[in-house]
């Protein structure tokens, strides 16, 4: 989940667009393969299809909540001067939200990858509202320490090419659209991401997660159990030493 300050927006340009079906299932227009119902929770995309190998998600990467990073003419623009993640004072960066165009392909049947490839700078997954997840770095091996001040009231911000993204807990999802224990989205390897609490209300800490920042048990969405990531209040926030599973692709 890394934000590339050197122009990775062009390389890993997020092409997310998914429209949430009003039914419990959607089907592809070309293959008629059913899209598993859980993916309909990704309400911020323009389309979601299933080719039998990958769930294909398209998005414009536009947050559905207010932000000072929208143009002042946008209905979702809202000036902000309060505190942000970790209680630091907000300091707006010079970037603005720009609509993106790209395609995320994640495995229909995610599997552990013994290689555990490193997460790249740029998008490493997608939130339910179609916004990109980035990892714990501001640049190559650079911690988020100085970037945290530029997170808006919902803990997101845009990078130089205008790609809005979350490095840490997506506060709008955990407090408005879902809950602290709810499904937040998926990483590129197909494994789900959950909020900073378990379903019983227990806060998740790094000490109960593995080095990839996840663990395996049943969830409300996966009754048989599944490996899943959690957001936590401490670094690496979402992902640690790499993907747990084999990642799919993001392309323009």
Question: What is the structure's pLDDT at 110?
Answer: 98
Q: What is the pTM of this model?
A: 0.87
| Integer CA distances (angstroms), 208 to 57, 73, 103, 241, in order | 31, 45, 33, 15
Q: What is the mean pLDDT of residues 233-242?
A: 95
For 68-127, how does the pLDDT look when each residue is reduced to its tens digit (9 = 90+)?
999 999 999 999 999 999 999 999 999 999 999 989 999 999 999 999 999 999 999 999
Q: Where are the domains of the chain?
A: 1-252
- Residue 10's CB: how many other CB atoms inside 10 A? 12
**Contact (CB, 8 A) for 158 and 4:** no
How high is the pLDDT of residue 15? 37
What is the tens place of the pLDDT at every residue in 157-168? 999 999 999 999
């Amino acid at each position: 989940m890394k934000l590339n300050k050197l122009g990775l927006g062009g390389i890993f340009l997020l092409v997310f667009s998914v429209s949430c079906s009003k039914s419990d299932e959607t089907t592809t227009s070309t293959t008629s393969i059913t899209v598993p119902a859980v993916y309909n929770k990704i309400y911020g995309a323009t389309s979601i299809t299933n080719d039998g190998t990958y769930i294909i998600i398209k998005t414009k990467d536009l947050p559905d909540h207010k932000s000072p990073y929208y143009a002042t003419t946008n209905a979702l623009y809202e000036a902000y001067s309060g505190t942000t993640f970790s209680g630091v004072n907000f300091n707006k960066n010079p970037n603005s939200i720009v609509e993106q165009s790209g395609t995320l392909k994640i495995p229909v049947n995610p599997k552990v990858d013994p290689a555990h490839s490193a997460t790249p700078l740029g998008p490493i997954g997608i939130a339910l509202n179609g916004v990109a997840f980035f990892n714990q770095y501001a640049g190559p091996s650079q911690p988020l320490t100085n970037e945290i001040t530029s997170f808006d009231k919902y803990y997101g911000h845009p990078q130089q090419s205008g790609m809005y993204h979350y490095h840490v807990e997506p506060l709008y999802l955990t407090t408005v659209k879902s809950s602290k224990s709810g499904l937040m989205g998926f990483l590129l390897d197909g494994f789900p991401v959950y909020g900073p609490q378990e379903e019983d209300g227990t806060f998740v800490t790094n000490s109960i997660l593995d080095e990839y920042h996840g663990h395996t048990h049943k969830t409300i969405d996966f009754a048989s159990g599944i490996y899943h990531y959690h957001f936590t209040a401490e670094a690496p926030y979402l992902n640690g030493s790499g993907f747990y599973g084999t990642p799919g692709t993001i392309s323009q």
